Amino acid sequence: MHDQSTYRIRIDLAYDGTAYHGWATQPGLATIQGTVEDGLATIFRQPIATTVAGRTDAGVHAANQVIHFDIPAALWEKLPGNHPMRPAETAMVTKLNGVLAKTSGAIHIRKAQIVPAGFDARFSPVARSYRYRIAMDEFDPLTRHFTYHHRKPLDMNRMVEEISGIEGMHDFSAFCKPRPGATTIRTLQEFRATREETVMTLHLTADAFCHHMVRALVGALLRVGDGSREPGWLRSRLTNPVRDSDMVLAPAHGLILDYVMYPPDDQLAARAAQTRAKRDPRMLPCDQSAGPLR
């Protein structure tokens, strides 16, 4: 038993976003958040508001998404099915999956746990990782919901060269949909391509991603890969960040949120505070506008 009056609960979940209008609740539309919160309300018999690690667009999937919510300890301990041999965390996963199975069956709860009060699903992560799947051969209808088939042939070697050594802190204005008061400065920790049989997978990891950043980076790389733009075009847009009509988003269905990484428990609150603080543009590398990346 815990002696807190309120518990913060972390839930890890996965979902197929094909039939949903993205993560965030929208009136009259099926969304992941709306479906999960409806399920929680059914279990606890009261509204439950969740906070997510990263909102996904309509049609985007997640292998490992993270949310949190706060709940009175007494209500948590009274969860039906909770007993010493079957703790509330296990009972809630079972019950919530049972409720969600009655909807589309496209959402699965992996784990639930009580976490420190300093844990924040949105602001505590140190990294988020996505993968984007691209079919390199003929169209396969069996994988159409989570693999993008580009109509033009792609030169993978050219794409690998385009993103080689591109990691680091940059202003991603040319690859983001602007939001009032939000920074477009991010640290790209990984951008690489792998291939297994007929599928190329792009792996992108950053401290955080601004709105549409992943799909815009992939969209730009595809244009270099199919010859629509000369090698170096993506890099030039990164080193000279200007949002314009050349920003093209890769289709949503090829994108999967792979995982969200958090620091040790004793660093969660500090990390959340650090993330909330607005990034200072003066923190950019001195060669941010000095030309092509090396």
Instruction: Evaluate whether 166 touches 235 at the Cβ level (below 8 Å).
Output: yes
| 130 known member of a binding site | yes
Whose CA is closest to 186, among 168, 162, 204? 168
Distance between CA atoms of residues 262 and 235, nearest Å:
30
Distance between CA atoms of residues 267 and 274, nearest Å:
11
Three-point CA angle 49, 55, 59, nearest 5°: 120
Q: Taking the CA of residue 268 as centre, how many other CA atoms within 13 Å lie in the half-sphere pointing to its CB?
A: 15
Using DSSP bridges, classify how beta strands 51-52 and 61-72 pair: parallel, antiparallel or unpaired. antiparallel
Catalytic residue chosen out of the listed positions 12, 16, 57, 171: 57
Backbone phi and psi for residue 8, each to the nearest 5 degrees, phi listed first: -100, 125
- Coil, strand or helix at 80: coil
- Coil, strand or helix at 228: coil
Distance between CA atoms of residues 48 and 8, nearest Å:
12
Is residue 57 part of the annotated active site? The answer reads yes
Token readout for 38 is: 């409806």
Give the rounded distance of the alpha carbon of 195 from its chain centre: 22
Using DSSP bridges, classify how beta strands 148-149 and 61-72 pair: parallel, antiparallel or unpaired. unpaired
Using DSSP bridges, classify how beta strands 255-261 and 61-72 pair: parallel, antiparallel or unpaired. parallel
Distance between CA atoms of residues 117 and 129, nearest Å:
24
Residues carrying an active site annotation: 57
Residues making up the annotated binding site are 130
Residues making up the annotated binding site for substrate are 130
